[in-house]
Amino acid sequence: MTPINKIEARIMSKLERTSEDKRSWDRFKFVLKGNYSHEQRSRQRECTVLDMSVNGACLKLPRDDDFAAGAPIFIEVLNREMNKINLEARVVWSQHTDESVLVGSLFVTILDTDIFESLA
Protein backbone atom coordinates (compact mmCIF):
# COMPACT_ATOMS: atom_id res chain seq x y z
CA MET A 1 0.00 0.00 0.00
CA THR A 2 1.43 3.42 -0.95
CA PRO A 3 1.79 6.16 1.69
CA ILE A 4 -1.10 8.08 0.12
CA ASN A 5 -3.39 5.04 0.27
CA LYS A 6 -2.41 4.45 3.92
CA ILE A 7 -3.36 8.00 4.90
CA GLU A 8 -6.65 7.76 3.02
CA ALA A 9 -7.47 4.52 4.79
CA ARG A 10 -6.71 6.03 8.21
CA ILE A 11 -8.86 9.11 7.76
CA MET A 12 -11.82 7.60 5.93
CA SER A 13 -13.67 7.13 9.20
CA LYS A 14 -13.16 10.80 10.10
CA LEU A 15 -13.98 12.47 6.81
CA GLU A 16 -16.69 12.21 4.21
CA ARG A 17 -15.32 11.44 0.75
CA THR A 18 -16.50 13.68 -2.08
CA SER A 19 -17.59 10.79 -4.31
CA GLU A 20 -18.82 12.69 -7.36
CA ASP A 21 -15.30 13.89 -8.17
CA LYS A 22 -13.36 12.20 -10.93
CA ARG A 23 -9.98 13.59 -9.90
CA SER A 24 -6.69 11.73 -9.71
CA TRP A 25 -6.64 12.13 -5.89
CA ASP A 26 -9.67 11.64 -3.65
CA ARG A 27 -10.93 14.75 -1.93
CA PHE A 28 -12.28 14.75 1.59
CA LYS A 29 -14.76 17.20 3.07
CA PHE A 30 -13.16 19.51 5.60
CA VAL A 31 -14.46 22.53 7.41
CA LEU A 32 -11.31 24.45 8.24
CA LYS A 33 -11.10 28.14 8.91
CA GLY A 34 -8.11 29.73 7.32
CA ASN A 35 -6.67 32.79 5.67
CA TYR A 36 -5.68 33.49 2.10
CA SER A 37 -4.00 36.17 0.05
CA HIS A 38 -3.35 37.03 -3.58
CA GLU A 39 0.36 37.50 -2.95
CA GLN A 40 2.64 35.76 -0.50
CA ARG A 41 3.23 38.78 1.72
CA SER A 42 0.03 40.70 1.18
CA ARG A 43 -2.94 41.29 3.47
CA GLN A 44 -4.74 38.09 4.41
CA ARG A 45 -8.49 37.58 4.45
CA GLU A 46 -10.55 34.83 6.08
CA CYS A 47 -11.69 31.78 4.13
CA THR A 48 -13.14 28.33 4.73
CA VAL A 49 -11.65 25.14 3.30
CA LEU A 50 -14.60 23.02 2.14
CA ASP A 51 -12.73 20.01 0.82
CA MET A 52 -9.14 18.97 0.28
CA SER A 53 -6.86 16.35 -1.22
CA VAL A 54 -3.09 16.09 -1.13
CA ASN A 55 -2.93 18.16 -4.31
CA GLY A 56 -5.73 20.73 -4.05
CA ALA A 57 -8.59 22.31 -2.16
CA CYS A 58 -11.94 24.01 -2.59
CA LEU A 59 -12.19 27.31 -0.73
CA LYS A 60 -15.09 29.55 0.19
CA LEU A 61 -14.03 33.21 -0.06
CA PRO A 62 -15.82 36.51 0.59
CA ARG A 63 -18.24 37.50 -2.17
CA ASP A 64 -16.32 40.66 -3.05
CA ASP A 65 -13.11 38.84 -4.01
CA ASP A 66 -12.19 37.33 -7.35
CA PHE A 67 -9.47 35.08 -8.76
CA ALA A 68 -8.80 34.28 -12.40
CA ALA A 69 -7.84 30.77 -13.47
CA GLY A 70 -4.08 30.35 -13.13
CA ALA A 71 -3.71 33.06 -10.50
CA PRO A 72 -1.61 32.25 -7.43
CA ILE A 73 -3.36 31.90 -4.08
CA PHE A 74 -1.58 31.59 -0.74
CA ILE A 75 -3.49 29.71 1.97
CA GLU A 76 -2.81 29.45 5.70
CA VAL A 77 -4.61 26.91 7.92
CA LEU A 78 -4.05 25.56 11.42
CA ASN A 79 -3.51 21.86 12.02
CA ARG A 80 -4.73 19.89 15.07
CA GLU A 81 -1.71 21.05 17.08
CA MET A 82 -2.56 24.70 16.17
CA ASN A 83 0.56 25.04 14.00
CA LYS A 84 0.29 27.17 10.87
CA ILE A 85 0.42 25.30 7.58
CA ASN A 86 1.21 27.52 4.58
CA LEU A 87 0.10 26.30 1.17
CA GLU A 88 0.80 27.78 -2.24
CA ALA A 89 -1.68 26.97 -5.00
CA ARG A 90 -2.96 28.02 -8.40
CA VAL A 91 -6.62 28.72 -9.07
CA VAL A 92 -8.22 26.20 -11.41
CA TRP A 93 -11.76 27.59 -11.36
CA SER A 94 -13.96 30.05 -9.48
CA GLN A 95 -17.71 30.38 -9.15
CA HIS A 96 -19.70 33.25 -7.66
CA THR A 97 -22.69 32.43 -5.49
CA ASP A 98 -25.13 34.76 -3.74
CA GLU A 99 -23.05 34.63 -0.54
CA SER A 100 -19.48 33.88 -1.57
CA VAL A 101 -16.95 32.90 -4.20
CA LEU A 102 -15.99 29.24 -4.44
CA VAL A 103 -12.46 28.59 -5.68
CA GLY A 104 -10.94 25.30 -6.78
CA SER A 105 -7.18 25.26 -6.39
CA LEU A 106 -4.25 23.01 -7.23
CA PHE A 107 -1.29 23.01 -4.83
CA VAL A 108 2.09 23.86 -6.32
CA THR A 109 3.57 20.91 -4.40
CA ILE A 110 1.69 17.77 -3.33
CA LEU A 111 1.16 17.82 0.43
CA ASP A 112 3.28 15.56 2.57
CA THR A 113 1.09 12.80 4.02
CA ASP A 114 1.94 13.80 7.61
CA ILE A 115 0.83 17.37 6.94
CA PHE A 116 -2.37 16.23 5.26
CA GLU A 117 -3.14 13.87 8.13
CA SER A 118 -2.51 16.64 10.71
CA LEU A 119 -5.35 18.62 9.14
CA ALA A 120 -7.92 15.80 9.47
Domains contained in the chain, CATH given: 3-119 (2.40.10.220)
d(CA 4, CA 28): 13
> What per-residue confidence (pLDDT) applies to 78?
93
pTM: 0.77
> What per-residue confidence (pLDDT) applies to 69?
94
Mean pLDDT, residues 25-50: 88
Mean pLDDT, residues 59-65: 95
Split at pLDDT 50, 70, 90, the class of 18 is very low
Q: What Å distances lie between residue 119 and 16, 42, 68, 77, 96, CA to CA? A: 14, 24, 27, 8, 27
